[in-house]
Amino acid sequence: MSSHDIRRPFKRPAISDQQRRRELSLLRQSQNRRDAQLQARRLASTLLSLQSTQHDYNEQQLDIEVTKVPAELESYAEETEDDYGDHKEAHHDLRQATKLRGHEARLWFAKQLMHPEWMIDVPDNLNTDWYVFARPAGKRCFVVSSNGTTISRLRNGILLHRFPSALPNGARTNNSKSAQSYCILDCIFHESDETYYVIDGVCWAGISLYECAAEFRFFWLNSKLAETGACDAPSTYHRYRFSTLPVYNCDKEGLQTAYAGQVPYVKDGLLFYNKHAHYQTGNTPLALVWKDENCSQYVIDTDNKGQVPSQQQVVLELLDDGRLATSDDPPVIFGCLLGAFVQKTELHRGDLIKFAIGEGGLVVVNGKLEKADLQFLGKSNRARAFADSYSKVLFQHAARYSHLRIEHLFASISSCVEDGNSTQDAEMAG
Partner 1 sequence: MAMEVTQILLNAQSVDSTVRKHAEETLKQFQEQNLPGFLLSLSGELASEEKPVDSRKLAGLILKNALDAKEQHRKFELVQRWLSLDMAVKAQIKTCLLQTLSSPVTDAHSTASQVIAKVAGIELPQKQWPELIGSLLSNIHQVPAHVKQATLETLGYLCEEVSPDVVDQDQVNKILTAVVQGMNAEEGNNDVRLAATRALYNALGFAQANFNNDMERDFIMRVVCEATQSPEVKIRQAAFECLVSISSTYYEKLAPYIQDIFNITAKAVKEDVEPVALQAIEFWSSICDEEIDILEDYGGDFTADSNVPCYYFIKQALPALVPMLLETLLKQEEDQDQDEGAWNLAMAGGTCLGLVARTVGDEIVPLVMPFIQENISKPDWRQREAATYAFGSILEGPSPDKLTPLVNVALNFMLSALTKDPNSHVKDTTAWTLGRIFEFLHGSTVETPIITPANCQLIITVLLQAMKDAPNVAEKACGALYFLAQGYEDTGASSPLTPFFQEIVQSLLTVTHREDAGESRLRTAAYETLNEVVRCSTDETAPMVLQLAPIIMTELHQTLEGQKLSSDEREKQSELQGLLCGCLQVIIQKLGASEATKFVFMQYADQIMNLFLRVFACRNATVHEEAMLAIGALAYATGPDFAKYMPEFYKYLEMGLQNFEEYQVCAVTVGVVGDVCRALEDKILPYCDGIMTQLLKDLSSNQLHRSVKPPIFSCLGDIALAIGENFEKYMMYAMPMLQSAAELSAHTSGADDEMIEYTNLLRNGILEAYSGIFQGFKNSPKTQLLIPYAPHILQFLDSIYMEKDMDDVVMKTAIGVLGDLADTLGSNAGSLIQQSLSSKEFLNECLSSDDHLIKESAEWAKLAITRAISV
Q: Is 344 in the site for partner 1 (CB under 8 A)?
A: no
Q: Pick the closest to residue 118 from 375, 300, 251 (CA basis).
A: 300
Confirm or reject binding of residue 416 to partner 1 (CB under 8 A).
no
Binding span for partner 1 by CB under 8 A among 134-142, 230-238, 364-372, 396-404: 230-238
- Number of residues that this document lists for the chain: 430
Does position 29 bind partner 1 by CB under 8 A? yes
Comparison of 19 and 424: residue with beta carbon closer to partner 1: 19
315, 388 contact by CB (below 8 A): yes
Torsion of Cα atoms, 222 then 225 then 228 then 233, to 10°: -120
For residue 198, the cross-strand partners are 187
51 binds partner 1 (CB under 8 A): yes
Q: Is 234 in the site for partner 1 (CB under 8 A)?
A: yes
Of the residues 124, 194, 227, 303, which one makes contact with partner 1 according to CB under 8 A: 194
Does 91 sit near partner 1 (CB under 8 A)? no
Contact residue for partner 1 among 176, 304, 310, 402 (CB under 8 A): 176
Interacting span for partner 1 (CB under 8 A) from 92-100, 115-123, 268-276, 334-342:
92-100
Q: How many residues bind partner 1 (CB under 8 A)?
A: 56
CB of 166 to partner 1, least distance (A): 13
Strand order in the sheet with 282-290: 114-118, 282-290, 267-274, 130-136, 248-249
Question: How far is residue 422's CA from residue 11's CA, in Å, rounded to a whole number?
Answer: 74
Query: Burial level of 243, CB count in 10 A (0-12/13-18/19+)?
Result: buried
Residues in contact with 176: Cβ distance below 8 Å, sequence separation at least 6, in sequence order = none
What separation in angstroms does the CA of 368 have from each of 267, 314, 335, 361, 371? Answer: 31, 17, 13, 14, 9
Stretch binding partner 1 (CB under 8 A), from 66-74, 130-138, 172-180, 342-350: 172-180
Q: Binding to partner 1 (CB under 8 A): which residues in 96-155? A: 96, 99, 147-148
Q: Residue 191 in contact with residue 138, Cβ under 8 Å? A: yes
Binding-site member from 3, 366, 381, 402 for partner 1 (CB under 8 A): 3
Q: Could you say which of 87, 140, 239, 323 contacts partner 1 (CB under 8 A)?
A: 239
165 binds partner 1 (CB under 8 A): no
Among the residue ranges 33-41, 113-121, 307-315, 336-344, the one whose residues contact partner 1 (CB under 8 A):
33-41
Residues 4-23 that bind partner 1 (CB under 8 A): 4, 6-8, 10-11, 13, 16-18, 21-22
Among 91, 102, 111, 178, binds partner 1 (CB under 8 A): 178
Render 312-351 in DSSP notation, one character per residue. -EEEEEE-TTSEEE-SSSSPPEEEE--HHHHHHTT--TT-
Strand partners, 369: 364
The pairing of strands 313-318 and 149-154 is: unpaired
Please choose, from the candidates 419, 392, 402, the residue with its C-alpha nearest in 3D space to the C-alpha of residue 127: 419
284 contributes a contact to partner 1 by CB under 8 A: no
Torsion angle defined by CA atoms of residues 19, 25, 31 and 34, in that order, rounded to the nearest 10 degrees: -100
Helix, strand, coil share of the chain (percent; to 5): 30, 25, 40
Residue 57 touches partner 1, criterion: CB under 8 A:
yes
Q: Which stretch binds partner 1 (CB under 8 A): 24-32, 304-312, 364-372, 413-421?
A: 24-32
Note the residues at the interface with partner 1 (CB under 8 A).
1, 3-4, 6-8, 10-11, 13, 16-18, 21-22, 24-26, 28-30, 32-33, 36-37, 40-41, 44-45, 48-49, 51-52, 55, 57, 59, 61, 95-96, 99, 147-148, 161, 172, 175-180, 191, 194, 233-236, 239
